[in-house]
Amino acid sequence: MLNDQDIIDIRKDFPILDTKIEGRPLIYLDNAATSQTPDAVVDTISYMYRNLKANVHRGVHTLSQLATDKQEEAREKVRRYINADSTGEIIFTRGTTEAINLVASSFGGTLTHGDEIIITAMEHHANIVPWQLLQRNKRIRLRIVPLNERGEIVTEDYEDLFTENTRFVAISHVSNVLGSINPVKKMIEIAHSHGVPVLVDGAQAVSCMKVDMKELDADFYAFSAHKMYGPTGVGVLYGKKKFLEMMPPYQGGGEMIGTVTFEKTTFAGLPYKFEAGTPDFVGIAAFGTAIDYIQDIGIDNIAAHEDRLLKAATEKLQQIPGMRIFGTSENKSAVISFLVNGINSYDMGTILDKLGVAVRTGHHCAEPLMHRLGIEGTVRASFGVYNTMEEVEQFVAAVERTAKMFS
């Protein structure tokens, strides 16, 4: 359990939190978009550029070998973090979006006209558009799992969508808008009972809850470093070996080959078959440091702290006249999406910024969900390990003050 002194000490690792906005202390509540980065991660980036900048896997010289070691150490840290069977199942990408596109492009090539893919009504665009692009080329069909009024998936409704043509399921672990934590383990069990593989978009889950591939039994799991107190431009695709081995490469180039002639190319083994070109080995090494940082604090401690902030903020916000909160699932991450008295989300966000509060506004790359809710967008506040109860109170006071400006 993290106490007040623990949070004070953690905040010292994030100098950006000392920033002033319009002369006011920054209250950073946009963690669902990207979390801030502790000094230890920045130090790793600096160390790599100053001491170990050399292409990985390609050189016999010492710098190349040392840089390679740092990248592969990070791969092992990721493997342990999500409890995967082997590092061969851990593919580095530029982020969750690229990881999902990799699966849509490569595994999607096995699909044919009339095949069906199940997604949910709460998906981020990154887990909609790649399947629509595939739909254009393959003439497959997307089937959409509806939500109840609390913003939850009802597993019976989900199971009703399976037909003899269902070939794939792609679902978010946690909604980036509603905060709803989906029953993905049960959903995977249902899909597997129909012989259907499942991809889970875990971008909003990995920084605030324990994720175990052996327990979930997901076939693919995608996430990003920048939502885990790590660098931007680095992501992970976990895939079961049996699927990755049968899938063709997503991109071609250096690093991912076995042999190349003008007549034929053979490909490297896992995971390198899917890692064409020079990787961001600096960012990957820094991602390893971010994982160390999370584990030093304890993922359960982070989850408990963020949940306390969520509950306090929700209770206080509900006391503001005209407040409407979207996503009221009991099983929820530290995300609150709201509107007050029909005030445009952009207007609310702009004024909150002048008061030092950084929130997200708009459709949050989930336009179909906004259509389902009958709105154009929301104000979204999302909490991280370094946020405090005092910041919650200041945030709520800022929302209340802004609402009164429009009354």
314 φ, ψ (degrees, to nearest 5): -60, -45
Active-site residue among 63, 142, 325, 365? 365
**Beta-carbon contacts of residue 370 (< 8 Å; ≥ 6 apart):** 363, 376, 377, 378
Longest CA–CA span in the chain (Å) reads: 72
d(CA 220, CA 201): 9
209 token code pair: 């809850």
Q: Count other Cβ atoms within 10 Å, centred on residue 120.
A: 27
Q: Pick left, alpha or beta for residue 362 (phi over 0 → left; psi -120 to 50 → alpha; otherwise beta).
A: left
Which residues, listed in sequence order, are joined to residue 361 by a DSSP beta bridge? Answer: 379
Q: E strands along 66-208, which residues?
A: 90-93, 116-120, 141-145, 166-172, 198-201
Cα of first residue to Cα of last residue in the chain, in angstroms, is: 41
365 is catalytic: yes
Which residues, listed in sequence order, are joined to residue 198 by a DSSP beta bridge? Answer: 169
Which residues, listed in sequence order, are joined to residue 145 by a DSSP beta bridge? Answer: 120
315 φ, ψ (degrees, to nearest 5): -60, -45
Q: Count other Cβ atoms within 10 Å, centred on residue 236.
A: 30
Q: Are 352 and 362 in contact (CB under 8 A)?
A: no
Q: Count other Cβ atoms within 10 Å, centred on residue 367.
A: 14
Q: Which pairing describes strands 166-172 and 116-120: parallel, antiparallel, or unpaired?
A: parallel
d(CA 197, CA 219): 6
Q: Are 150 and 181 in contact (CB under 8 A)?
A: no
d(CA 130, CA 367): 15
Give the catalytic positions in this structure.
365
